Amino acid sequence: MAYSRENIRRVREEFAARRQNAGEESERRREELRREIPGLAELDRQIASIGVRVMEAAVRGGDVEDAVGRMRREHDALRARRAEMLAARGYPADYTDIRYRCEKCQDTGFVDTKMCSCMRQELIRLGFESSGIGPLAPTQTFDAFSLDYYAGDDRRAMETNLRVLRAFAEDFAGHRTENFLLIGATGLGKTHLSAAVARTVIEGGYDVVYETAQEVFSAFETTRFGGEDGGEDRFLTCDLLIVDDLGTELTNNFTVSCLYQLLNTRLNRRLSTILSTNLTPAELRSRYADRITSRLFGEFRPLAFHGSDVRMQKIRGAKGAPQP
């Protein structure tokens, strides 16, 4: 899996802060009881000293097992006495124990050497947050994509698109490059299926960026002319890049150069890319240079979207199922 390095850094910092806060809160409760219960501080000192004595016994050698057994019984007796003292004041025996958010990994993020499910879920959450799909994530899923809005050859084409993109997303592996060019008029499901791919790949633990063409080129422009980092490196390095609405950007020499750099870099790095556009193949050839269209039609698998605008069908009340 290839979670975003930035998200990994953020999660590690968050988990370190969780552990520190849990320890500090435990110590706060401990100091509270030591002030309230006479003799508790000395009892805690005696309990803590047993661990040191166990190590000393191991260093000295001899009948270590017998010595450790005696100290374990002493430890249990002291812990029982401590519980009695807390109960007499109305506190549970574990009142001063450290309370981790995740007891499995104790907020380290790892159980033995394996990533804990709590850290994985946090990385997935950040993956959605940083991917750009935002509010599309809850509703634009493969299961929510209805073929009822399509008929005849259009339906058969959309069945193929749904099957191909779902298989790609569910079997995604960062080392295997597959690129898609989604072509069709507005309202035919390109955005829905793109978002569904993004959601599934993120849940698989990979770094996904989903952005409109206008925002992608704006990031390049900020770096080139704005005197600051526009963040375009993520477009060049993420496991899966999804660019929506290619062709809606202002096309000029600069944006064409940026698009070539984007496509060429990702192809050379064997990183998967999905582009969606309302332009026809002829319009793409007219708008972009040969060195770009040769890559689009040579390195990307075209998926044509056919039918009638689903949004307009919904407005007309043709169907009520959730769709793009």
Task: Output the tens digit of pLDDT for each of the chain's 324 residues.
Answer: 456 677 888 889 999 999 999 999 999 999 999 999 999 999 988 888 887 777 777 676 666 677 778 888 888 899 899 999 999 999 999 999 999 999 889 999 998 888 887 887 788 777 777 766 766 666 789 999 989 889 999 999 999 999 999 999 999 975 568 999 999 988 899 999 999 999 899 888 888 888 889 888 888 888 887 666 657 788 898 889 999 999 988 888 999 999 999 999 999 999 999 999 999 999 999 999 899 999 999 999 999 999 887 777 777 764 444 444
Rounded to 5 degrees, what angle do the CA atoms 258, 271, 211 make?
55
Residue 227's pLDDT is 65
Burial (CB count within 10 angstroms: exposed 0-12, middle 13-18, buried 19+), residue 190: buried
Q: Phi and psi at residue 183, in whole multiples of 5°? A: -120, 130
Lookup: tokens for 309: 């605008």
Residue 259's pLDDT is 93
Residue 267's pLDDT is 94
The amino acid at 291 = R
- Output the furthest CA–CA distance in the chain (Å, rounded): 88
User: What fold, for 132-315?
Assistant: Rossmann fold (3.40.50)
Q: How many beta carbons lie within 10 A of that of residue 279, not counting itself?
A: 18
Residue 239: closest CA among 130, 121, 77? 130
Q: How many beta carbons lie within 10 A of that of residue 21, not counting itself?
A: 13
Domains of the chain: which residue ranges? 5-106, 132-315
Residue 320's pLDDT is 47
Residue 135's pLDDT is 65
3-state secondary structure of 143: coil
